[in-house]
Chain A
Amino acid sequence: MIRRVLPHGLGRGLLTRKPGTRRGGFSLDWDGKVSEIKKKIKSILPGRSCDLLQDTSHLPPEHSDVVIVGGGVLGLSVAYWLKKLESRRGAIRVLVVERDHTYSQASTGLSVGGICQQFSLPENIQLSLFSASFLRNINEYLAVVDAPPLDLRFSPSGYLLLASEKDAAAMESNVKVQRQVGAKISLMSPDQLRNKFPWINTEGVALASYGMEDEGWFDPWCLLQGLRRKVQSLGVLFCQGEVTRFVSSSQRMLTTDDKAVVLKRIHKVHVKMDCSLEYQPVECAIVVNAAGAWSAQIAALAGIGEGPPGTLQGTKLPVEPRKRYVYVWHCPQGPGLETPLVADTSGAYFRREGLGSNYLGGRSPTEQEEPDPANLEVDHDFFQDKVWPHLALRIPAFETLKVQSAWASYYDYNTFDQNGVVGPHPLVANMYFATGFSGHGLQQAPGVGRAVAEMILKGRFQTIDLSPFLFTRFYLGEKIQENNII
């Protein structure tokens, strides 16, 4: 109080010297001292963590049952289902480690947000159907006391896939499988297509499949925030940091055929803090790799793939980041409100965005045209040369359009067969994968999260059997090719 009375210009040097620097000095810094003493007393009192020496609130806990590497929609979905399916409240301690809390490069937030059931594999169709019912009832699944309900802004407009002559037979058999599993898909001839959507040029289209229900697009950011909120209310801890090391132990064992195999077990995860050398070793029982486009780095840290090629030890996780562009354009005479997400025979796709004649879309590049995934810079020439000609051919109204903006995002691309990797690694016994979905991770996240949680808690898949998606298929060479990748 005495300090405030004195004018600021005078005598500041005398008064702001630290206590104890002048032997026998009597510091007048009462306010600072009192607040320090208050802080110390508060930290001694029960209910507060004892941080007398240093503040560790930003560090993750020292022990956690499950550490989920990656806080995107797949990681949060696994966390959610672990908490939902645990046998007793508070039985499992879960920690989600996310390197970037702004999610600036995460695939989830940058996604186009579509959900469709038009796959060729029955497991993929089942996952999408479950996700649709999850999103429909999202306010029952992710309800938090006193929080407002989530508005996913779902547009149930469906997906329209066009097939040329050579793909028509495959499309028909795919639709048969989809209908068997329970999706509502209708097949249309070019005449019916022209009737329904007069703005399509059906030259080169032999068959079209149109999803009638449970297909469309929604706001992925809302889903992510809803999952985060719910998962935090269920007691999952979050930490912003990067996983830099796994401390593991190996054991040499014999298989039933007397072959030697080295089984590894991860004991600790080193989580390094942002912009500092400080790290915390987290002792854990299970690690879930949901790191999306960077899953291969996490797998390499655990020693997956270190071995002679062609053996199980030498099989790497074949997931790599692939850059994909999405462009937003304005076309005042474009297709109307009823437009589904149209995927052309050439691979170009687009959908409406909002009420104002804006559209967004893109195209997956061929293997030779793959852009460099080192950064998220947008190549506008790609739109001019590779996307626009196909769109203008299919939709004559798109011959005049104006690109408003564009962005790039990563696919966690599985180079083996473009389908996800789910379940435990055969040699690193406590690492579980939930990654590699190559562009349809968002729409399958609820189903995959539940499957991984079931695998962790019960030891097997109970609701949807995802055994074809296990890691061992990379070693055995069993590809489960998904034909309908947009």
Chain B
Amino acid sequence: MAAPWASLRLVAPMWNGRIRGIHRLGGAVAPEGNQKKKRTILQLLTNYFYDVEALRDYLLQREMYKVHEKNRFRDKEWIRPDKYGHFSQEFWNFCVVPVEAVDASDCDINYEGLDNLLLLKELQSLSLQRCSHVDDWCLSRLYPLADSLQELSLAGCPRVSERGLACLHHLRNLRRLDISDLPAVSNPGLTQILVEEMLPNCEVVGVDWAEGLKSGPEEQPQDTASPVPA
């Protein structure tokens, strides 16, 4: 491992300034804050080989696809970008390890960008919270993940409507679906019921189905399931 690190050391001083400059110009991704959970081997290595930071240049290629990911690999903790929005170089050592979970919240991912996520054949958990470009067309593309996807979160996506939720029935292994706070859904309570009927093995979270129902004068809100006496 010594030789590659040695070559990195030469490049580091030139590149650091430029990369930081680019990020300041580009309006950097909201810094995660250096939340350190328990220290793993990765973080230990990062501390010893400080010039690992220098080779983030080719990670800018990833940013062209507009996906800033916080990923979890099998048996490992979440890998998050540091305060510059870059990933450590150890990331590339995990090319062959299947990706289990992707958190693409607040991300500008769009219809074409989903190409990258659909290649992850063993993805179990996907979070697309508050993604402003995810709409009904994007949801119709998720069926290749049907075999593995167990958890999906669409909370807060402004363009997702009940018509897009209808094509989630392909995801038969889904166990948890979060559809809270979807402004484009016309009738959240009724949609929740229909989605629960559509996915019987899945826990659908986010909308209280009694929302929007009017209760009679002497009935409690829980009893609105029974017909209201005229």
Question: A residues near B, CB below 8 A?
Answer: 136, 153-158, 212-214, 216, 336-339, 355-356
Return the CB mask of B148-183 against A: 1 if under 8 Å, else 0. Answer: 000000000000011111110110000000000000
B161 nearest in chain A by CB position: A153
CB distance from A133 to the nearest CB of B (A): 10
Question: Chain B interface residue count: which class?
Answer: 20 to 34
CB contact between B195 and one of A136, A153, A212, A337 (< 8 Å): that residue: A337
B139 touches A338 (CB 8 A): no
- Residues of chain A contacted by B111 (CB below 8 angstroms): 136
A337 to B196, CA, bound (A): 10
A337 touches B139 (CB 8 A): no
CB contact between B197 and one of A212, A216, A337 (< 8 Å): that residue: A337
B198 touches A338 (CB 8 A): yes
B167 touches A153 (CB 8 A): no
Q: A212-B170, A336-B194 are in contact. List 18 more A-B contacts (CB 8 A).
A: A156-B136, A156-B137, A156-B166, A157-B167, A158-B167, A212-B140, A212-B143, A213-B140, A213-B141, A216-B140, A216-B163, A337-B197, A338-B166, A338-B167, A355-B187, A355-B191, A355-B194, A356-B190
A355 touches B197 (CB 8 A): no
- Residues of chain B contacted by A216 (CB below 8 angstroms): 140, 163
B163 nearest in chain A by CB position: A155
- Residues of chain B contacted by A212 (CB below 8 angstroms): 140, 143, 170
- Residues of chain A contacted by B166 (CB below 8 angstroms): 155-157, 337-339
- Residues of chain A contacted by B191 (CB below 8 angstroms): 355
B167 touches A355 (CB 8 A): no
Q: Can you give 25 A-B contacts (C-beta < 8 A)?
A: A136-B111, A136-B137, A154-B136, A155-B166, A156-B137, A156-B163, A156-B167, A157-B163, A158-B167, A212-B170, A213-B141, A214-B140, A216-B163, A337-B162, A337-B165, A337-B166, A337-B169, A337-B195, A337-B197, A338-B198, A339-B166, A355-B186, A355-B187, A355-B190, A355-B194
A336 touches B143 (CB 8 A): no
A136 nearest in chain B by CB position: B137
A136 to B137, CA, bound (A): 7
B140 nearest in chain A by CB position: A156
- Residues of chain B contacted by A153 (CB below 8 angstroms): 161, 163
B141 touches A154 (CB 8 A): no
A157 to B137, CA, bound (A): 10
A40 to B143, CA, bound (A): 67
A158 to B136, CA, bound (A): 13
CB distance from B2 to the nearest CB of A (A): 49
A153 to B159, CA, bound (A): 11
- Residues of chain B contacted by A155 (CB below 8 angstroms): 136, 163, 166
B199 nearest in chain A by CB position: A338
B141 nearest in chain A by CB position: A213
Return the CB mask of B15-54 against A: 1 if under 8 Å, else 0. Answer: 0000000000000000000000000000000000000000
CB distance from B118 to the nearest CB of A (A): 11
Question: B residues near A, CB below 8 A?
Answer: 111, 136-137, 139-141, 143, 161-167, 169-170, 186-187, 190-191, 194-195, 197-198
Q: Indicate the member of B111, B136, B143, B195 with the most A CB atoms within 10 Å.
A: B136
A156 touches B139 (CB 8 A): yes
- Residues of chain A contacted by B198 (CB below 8 angstroms): 336-338
CB contact between B163 and one of A136, A154, A336, A356 (< 8 Å): that residue: A154
- Residues of chain B contacted by A214 (CB below 8 angstroms): 140
A337 to B170, CA, bound (A): 12
A158 to B165, CA, bound (A): 13
Interface secondary structure of B, over-half rule: helix
A136 to B110, CA, bound (A): 12
B169 nearest in chain A by CB position: A338
A155 to B169, CA, bound (A): 13
B159 nearest in chain A by CB position: A151
- Residues of chain A contacted by B194 (CB below 8 angstroms): 336-337, 355
CB distance from A164 to the nearest CB of B (A): 26
CB contact between A355 and one of B141, B162, B164, B169 (< 8 Å): that residue: B162
- Residues of chain A contacted by B139 (CB below 8 angstroms): 156
A337 to B187, CA, bound (A): 13
A356 to B189, CA, bound (A): 12
A355 to B186, CA, bound (A): 9
- Residues of chain A contacted by B136 (CB below 8 angstroms): 154-156
CB contact between A154 and one of B137, B186, B187 (< 8 Å): that residue: B137
Nearest 10 A-B pairs (CB), nearest first?
A156-B140, A338-B169, A155-B163, A337-B194, A337-B166, A337-B198, A136-B137, A338-B198, A156-B167, A336-B198
A468 to B166, CA, bound (A): 37
CB distance from B207 to the nearest CB of A (A): 13
A212 to B169, CA, bound (A): 11
CB distance from A351 to the nearest CB of B (A): 11
CB distance from A398 to the nearest CB of B (A): 18
Q: Indicate the member of A155, A158, A339 with the most B CB atoms within 10 Å.
A: A155
A40 to B191, CA, bound (A): 61
- Residues of chain B contacted by A156 (CB below 8 angstroms): 136-137, 139-140, 163-164, 166-167
CB distance from A117 to the nearest CB of B (A): 13
- Residues of chain B contacted by A136 (CB below 8 angstroms): 111, 137
CB distance from B60 to the nearest CB of A (A): 26
CB distance from A218 to the nearest CB of B (A): 9
A153 to B184, CA, bound (A): 11
CB distance from A372 to the nearest CB of B (A): 36
Q: Indicate the member of B162, B169, B186, B198 with the most A CB atoms within 10 Å.
A: B169
A212 to B145, CA, bound (A): 13
CB distance from A450 to the nearest CB of B (A): 21
- Residues of chain A contacted by B197 (CB below 8 angstroms): 336-337
- Residues of chain B contacted by A154 (CB below 8 angstroms): 136-137, 163
- Residues of chain A contacted by B190 (CB below 8 angstroms): 355-356
- Residues of chain A contacted by B140 (CB below 8 angstroms): 156, 212-214, 216
- Residues of chain B contacted by A213 (CB below 8 angstroms): 140-141, 143
Q: Indicate the member of B167, B186, B197 with the most A CB atoms within 10 Å.
A: B167
- Residues of chain B contacted by A355 (CB below 8 angstroms): 162, 186-187, 190-191, 194
CB distance from A197 to the nearest CB of B (A): 9
